[in-house]
Structure 1
Amino acid sequence: MKLRSFESIYHINKESQVKTWFYYFAILFIIVLFLPWTQNIQVRGSVSTLYQDQRPQQLNSQIPGRIIKWHVKNGDFVKKGDTILQLSEVKDDYLDPELLRRTQEQVAAKKGVGEYYRAKVGTTEAQLGAINASRDLKLSQLKIKLSQLNSKIAAEEAELAAIGNEMKLLEDQYGRQKKMYEEGLVSLTQFQQRAVSYQNALAKRTAAENKLSQSRQELTTLDIERNAIMQDYTEKVSKIQGERFQSMGQIEGNTGDIAKLENQAANYRARQNMYAVLASQDGQVVQLTKSGIGEILKDTESIGTIVPKMANSAVEIYVKPVDLPLMQVGQRVMCIFDGFPAIVFSGWPNSSYGTFAGKVVAIENNIGANGLFKALIVEDKSEKPWPRQIKIGAGVKGIAILNDVPIWYELWRNINGFPPDYYVSKSESANTADEKGKKN
């Protein structure tokens, strides 16, 4: 009896389709080998921003103080200038509540002292004027006396010259009279009369010489007196000028003290405005480090972080040094943001779902502490916009688009361990062509 189950299980008499399917799969494999494959570099990074003022900023206290009141809590949204917390003073140099007023009083007192010194300078200048006028007056008097004395000396010199002439005449007459008396031509009485006249002339000349000598001594005395007056007034003027310069120096020193006190007053006034820590920009307050009232803050100590409310998102990616030559400014990068579902086809990133296009705007030239180079990516405005829900610091996976090559070439490259083809962006190619055209 022939069993039907045997024929159903064992198809001995049926023709095999294995060869046909083998050919189908071979042809399909060959076709697949010639399909396009997009070379790419996969990198990791995080959401950031291009602008420093849009990045999370630390909240710092500019002065040390004790917290007396909180105006916000973690997660609150604030506007620029809103008060975060209030501080009270802890340094003993600033505990006086009237410190600013007292400093301003010191400034006013110093200004009064300055006015006193200025008045003293004015008084010394008036004294100098009076002393100079008195000196000039005495010198004028001495000048008149000198002029009169010189005239007197000139007259006495003329008188002495006349007496000298008369003396010569009388001396000749006396000599002739003496000779005639010795010869007996004249009497003794005549000779004695001539001798008396001659002696009188001698006495007259001696008196004139003494008078002239006395006048010259008076002239010398006037010169000495003039020098004494000059020296005396010079000492007085020097003393007054010394007092004047001392007062002027005290004015300058007082001006410096006033500037120093005004600087202190301005610092105290500015410090009073620092008792409230203000928000530096619009944003959300997070990561507050102080927990209550009465805690002490050091100067420049961080209180927390404020995250800007509005930011132009960018992506920071980190590239291995071996892949760095393949990255260029303007290169297209597909971004996959954490928290947003995506279906990715490695060789066909343009056909992936849930990816967002961006382009490289900057590549840093120095290597980071993690041994990687950082590149910045911004949104490609010509394609699907990035989601508005992404937050700064969120993780990102980037796929840098390189050349389109056949699958067989990509397999061959990977088997041989060759790097991806060097990518040249369209803008770079156009610039290179323009440079070649200019050279030609």
Structure 2
Amino acid sequence: MELKSFNTIYHINRDSRVMRWFFVFLVVGVIILFLPWTQNVKVNGTVTTLYQDQRPQQLNSPIPGKIEKWFVKNGDFVQKGDTILKLAEVKDEYLDPNLIYRSKEQVDAKKGVRDYYRAKVGTAENQLNALQVAKDLKISQLKIKLRQLNMKLEAENAELMAVNNEIKVVEDQYLRQKKMYDEGLVSLTQFQQRNVSYQNVLAKKTGIENKLAQSRQEIEATVMEENAIIQDFTDKLSKIQGERFQSLGQIQGSIGEIAKLENQISNYQIRQGLYYVLASQDGQVVQLNKAGIGEILKETESIGTIVPQRVDYAVEMYVKPVDLPLLRVGQRVMCVFDGFPAIVFSGWPNTSYGIFKGKLISIENTISVNGLFRAVVVQDSSERTWPPQIRVGGGAQGIIILNDVPVWYELWRNINGFPPDYYVVNTESKKN
């Protein structure tokens, strides 16, 4: 009796298809070995931006102060220039509500002092001019007097020369008269008359010599008077000039103090504008770390963070030193962002789903503290745009695309532990 269950369970009499399927799989496997395979390097990274002004910006207190009023809360979107909070002054040197007005009064007072010294300088210059005119006039008078005395001296010298000539004639006549008197040729009276004439000429000479000496003394006295006048006027001019320079110094000092006070006024005005902390750019206010009214802020203390609304995203990836020679600027990079589903076939990136294309734009030449090299990838403008939902700081994975090789070559490379594209075939012909 033939059992149906036995024939159903055991296929002893049936033809085997194992060999057929073996050859099918063998052929398919051989075909797969010759399919193209895209070599790649997988790296991890984070979403960032190339521009510093598009990174999250801290809100800092520009001055120390007390929080008086809040205008925003966590999560609010603000535009550039919007008021975040208002501060009140806490330093005693700025508490005066009329500080700017009183400082301007000080400036006006200093300007009055400056104008007073300028008027004093003008008066000193007038005095200098008057003294210089008086000095020139006095010196001119003395020079005229000196010329007159010199002319008088010349006349007296000429008169003395004439008297000397007359003395020679009279002396000669006197000697001849004396000789004739001794010989008895003339009377005593005639001899005495001649003697009187001779004595008169000598007396006349003495008088002229006295006048000449007196003229010389007058000239010396006039010269001394001129020097005394010059010295006197020099002292007066120096004194007034010193007062003038002192006034000029006071003017310059006043100008410096005025500039300093005006600088303080400008600082006070700018400081009053800093009582309102403003948004530095368009964005969202987050991480506000101060609460309530009346809390004291230190200078440059962090208040919170503004996350910009408009961001040109990039991905910073950290590459192992062993993979660094494989990278070059302009390479294609496939990016997978956290939170976005993706089906990735690393060897066939064009058949992957949920990936976004980019290109490598920079590779840093120095190693980072984590022992890896930093590379930056940006969106490829000719491909599909990156999703706007990504945020700075989010995770990302990069697949750096290398050369296309057969599958058998990739298997052989991995079995031998060779890096991708390590060997370069030199096709140049050798020159003899």
Is contact 1:403–1:423 with CA below 8 Å preserved after alignment? no
Q: Distance in 2 between matches of 1:231 and 1:408?
A: 115
**2:387 equivalent in structure 1:** 387
Pair 1:285-2:324 in alignment? no
SS of the residue 2:342 aligns to = coil
**2:182 equivalent in structure 1:** 182
Shift of 1:67: 1.1
In structure 2, the gaps of 5 or more residues are none
Shift of 1:10: 2.5
SS of the residue 2:87 aligns to = strand
Greater Cα offset, 327-336 or 292-301: 292-301
Pair 1:23-2:23 in alignment? yes
Shift of 1:75: 0.6
In structure 1, the gaps of 5 or more residues are 425-435
| Residue identity matched to 1:198 | Y
Q: Distance in 2 between matches of 1:38 and 1:64?
A: 60
Shift of 1:423: 11
Is contact 1:331–1:360 with CA below 8 Å preserved after alignment? yes
**2:171 equivalent in structure 1:** 171
| Residue identity matched to 1:89 | E
Shift of 1:269: 0.9
**1:304 equivalent in structure 2:** 304
Shift of 1:3: 3.5
Q: Distance in 1 between matches of 2:291 and 2:409?
A: 62
Greater Cα offset, 381-390 or 184-193: 381-390
Shift of 1:12: 2.7
| Residue identity matched to 2:127 | Q
**1:348 equivalent in structure 2:** 348
**2:68 equivalent in structure 1:** 68
Greater Cα offset, 173-182 or 315-324: 315-324
Greater Cα offset, 126-135 or 322-331: 322-331
SS of the residue 1:366 aligns to = strand
**1:130 equivalent in structure 2:** 130
Greater Cα offset, 8-17 or 241-250: 8-17
Greater Cα offset, 15-24 or 124-133: 15-24
Pair 1:10-2:10 in alignment? yes
Pair 1:357-2:357 in alignment? yes
Shift of 1:125: 0.3
Structure-2 change in CA distance of 1:25 and 1:277 (3 Å):
same
**1:430 equivalent in structure 2:** none
SS of the residue 1:364 aligns to = strand
**2:145 equivalent in structure 1:** 145
Structure-2 change in CA distance of 1:78 and 1:60 (3 Å):
same
Shift of 1:319: 1.3
Q: Distance in 2 between matches of 1:366 and 1:296?
A: 42
Q: Distance in 2 between matches of 1:95 and 1:318?
A: 53
Q: Distance in 2 between matches of 1:13 and 1:159?
A: 182
SS of the residue 2:139 aligns to = helix
Q: How does 1:279-428 map to 2 (within 5 A)?
A: 279-421=279-421
Greater Cα offset, 90-99 or 324-333: 90-99
Is contact 1:171–1:198 with CA below 8 Å preserved after alignment? yes
Q: Distance in 1 between matches of 2:310 and 2:338?
A: 20
Q: Distance in 1 between matches of 2:299 and 2:422?
A: 52
Shift of 1:152: 1.5
**2:246 equivalent in structure 1:** 246
Shift of 1:422: 5.7
Is contact 1:160–1:208 with CA below 8 Å preserved after alignment? yes
| Residue identity matched to 1:251 | I
Q: Distance in 2 between matches of 1:190 and 1:151?
A: 40
Shift of 1:92: 2.0
Q: Distance in 2 between matches of 1:279 and 1:21?
A: 71
**2:161 equivalent in structure 1:** 161
Shift of 1:194: 1.1
SS of the residue 2:365 aligns to = coil
Q: Distance in 2 between matches of 1:384 and 1:159?
A: 127
SS of the residue 2:16 aligns to = coil
Greater Cα offset, 330-339 or 3-12: 3-12
**1:429 equivalent in structure 2:** none
Q: Distance in 2 between matches of 1:165 and 1:4?
A: 193
SS of the residue 2:366 aligns to = coil
SS of the residue 2:93 aligns to = helix
Pair 1:202-2:185 in alignment? no
Shift of 1:230: 0.5
Identical counterparts, % of pairs? 70
Greater Cα offset, 16-25 or 348-357: 16-25
SS of the residue 1:211 aligns to = helix
Q: Distance in 2 between matches of 1:266 and 1:136?
A: 52
SS of the residue 1:112 aligns to = helix
Q: Distance in 2 between matches of 1:355 and 1:317?
A: 16
1:237-277 deviations in Å (ceiling 9; x for gaps): 11111111111111111111111111111111111111111
Deviating runs (4+, > 4 A) in structure 1? none
